[in-house]
Structure 1
Amino acid sequence: MPSTSPKRRQGGAALIVGLIMLVLITLAVTAGFTLSNTNLKSVGNMQNRNEAVAAANRAIEEVASSLLLPGVDGSPSLARPLATQSRVDINNDGTIDYTVDIAAPTCVRATKSTDTGGGGTAGPGGIGGNSSTSGSGLNALPDQYNTVWDISTSVTDAASGTVTAVRQGVRALLTKEQFEALCS
């Protein structure tokens, strides 16, 4: 009489359990690879965005420093700032990485910062024109205006073509003539 041994019955079950475990391990490895690949893309996108913002800030600094340059004779500029374009090589390898289109800066707010009426005038930096500054000439300062300019940019990545928008406010101190020509 042939006897069925328990070892034969378990041999098939062990194979099936082993195959199921192998499939589960394969799925876990695949999920881990997909997750790490997604994280890598996310970090790459954040790096590209940060580089685009850095390129925009570089261009905004150029515009802010040349916002109201004096004329050749030293008189204050009365010319409205124009829209410009800046090409930025962010990693200094000789190729243009980003193109920054800068809209014409607009004066969005202005407040009078000095008053020639005498007495308690406040000059640049909040310097007072009272008795402690007598003889300093601060009472004779012309009217000046603290202005805030909105500078909007659109940054295009040369490699991927993606576009990032960056806006920044810039403060500028204007004379009365500049204020009337540019901010009224």
Structure 2
Amino acid sequence: MPSTFHQRNQGGAALIVGLIMLVLITLVVTAGFTLSNTNLKSVGNMQNRNEAVAAANRAIEVVATSLLLPGVDGSPSLAAPQGTVSLVDINNDGTNDYTVQIAAPTCVRATKTTDTGGSTTGIGGIGGNASTAGSGLAALPDQYNSVWDISTTVTDDRTGTSTAVRQGVRALLSKAQFDALCSS
């Protein structure tokens, strides 16, 4: 009889240890599921933010290329750049994904370009004797290298979340443009 009593005690202990192990395994699986779900959300948020920044960069490029375009007669623009709204379809499915609000670009700084003796600085800051030889750029008119701040707010049309993106853009100004847009 003693051997039968000893087997019953072991059977109950094995059941309790088995139940404890099942609870521990369930907790580990639940924690793993929660962690992977959190990581998935983080990756999704990073992807949405990267898409929003790409949408902002696309809109900023459009604004930067149209910043201070000359008039139809070739005269330099004296009109201050205006704020705009751009609708971006990032995945080309025919539905706008992001709304990009672009604040009016502001002139942050402008410095006069200088002629340093034998070298001439041309458009975009390109300079040097050899690069301008024969170009007819004997002397530059008054020109100013300017830096413009373009600030955007991108709103995800699906979720309503927003991201702010700022970028600096450099533009070469004439004296008239400098006086009208950057001298204050």
TM beyond 0.5? yes
Structure 1 residue 52 corresponds to structure 2 residue 52: yes
What are the residue-to-residue correspondences of 1:120-139 with 2, within 5 Å? 120=118, 122-124=120-122, 125-128=125-128, 136-139=135-138
**Counterpart of 1:140 in 2: which secondary structure?**
coil
Cα offset for 1:123? Answer: 1.9
1:181 partner amino acid: A
1-structure distance, mates of 2:29, 2:69: 61
Cα offset for 1:112? Answer: 1.1
Cα offset for 1:63? Answer: 0.2
Partner in structure 1 of residue 21 of structure 2? 21
1-structure distance, mates of 2:54, 2:165: 10
> Judging changes above 3 Å, is the alpha-carbon distance between structure 1 residues 144 and 121 closer, same or farther for their aligned structure 2 residues?
farther
Q: How many pairs are equivalent?
A: 180
Q: Tell me the percent identity.
A: 79
Q: Given that residues 97 and 157 in structure 2 are in contact (C-alpha distance below 8 angstroms), is that contact kept between their aligned partners in structure 1?
A: yes
Q: C-alpha root-mean-square deviation of aligned residues, in Å? A: 1.9
1-structure distance, mates of 2:112, 2:156: 40
Cα offset for 1:139? Answer: 2.4
1:56 partner amino acid: A
Deviating more after overlay: 78-87 vs 135-144: 135-144
Structure 1 residue 62 corresponds to structure 2 residue 62: yes
Partner in structure 2 of residue 97 of structure 1? 97
2-structure distance, mates of 1:16, 1:145: 83
2:151 partner amino acid: S
Partner in structure 2 of residue 179 of structure 1? 178
1:31 partner amino acid: A
Partner in structure 1 of residue 146 of structure 2? 147
**Counterpart of 1:96 in 2: which secondary structure?**
coil
CA deviation string 1:68-92 (max 9, x = no partner): 1100101110100001000000000
> Judging changes above 3 Å, is the alpha-carbon distance between structure 1 residues 134 and 86 closer, same or farther for their aligned structure 2 residues?
closer
